[in-house]
Amino acid sequence: MTFGEHIQSADWKKEKHIPVIELPEVIEAGKPFLVTVSVGKEIPHPNTVEHHIKWIDVYFKPEGEKFLHQVAHFDFAAHAESVKGANEGAVLANPLATFSMTVKEPGTLVALELCNIHGVWESTAEIALA
């Protein structure tokens, strides 16, 4: 058994657990660009104490290379917990993160996310340079 055997994927327009990666249409080598990764873009993910996204990781695999490079990690720690009861808290983190990155060559972005009930989900986006 390997960890990879337990990573799930699907079309984000049909499955609420898939991380959606949004990139600019044109990316230039050596120039910063924004990446947004979210969960529940088309079908909202219930974000409650009982059922929530714990984290999103983003990796970059340069074309022709064997290994991934971790680019970012985002923890979502507030899930409306409260002494008043579950889902009564004053703050709720939403599983969306935007960050800037720079690449020198084309490759693939890989996003992983962990749902506390349904495990790890994955999606990818190709980066072609202008």
What residues are labeled active site?
15-17, 45, 51, 115, 118
Q: How far is CA 31 from CA 43, 48, 73, 105, 106, in A?
A: 33, 38, 21, 11, 13
The position carrying tokens 């529940």 is 40
130: buried, middle or exposed (CB in 10 Å: 19+, 13-18, 0-12)?
exposed
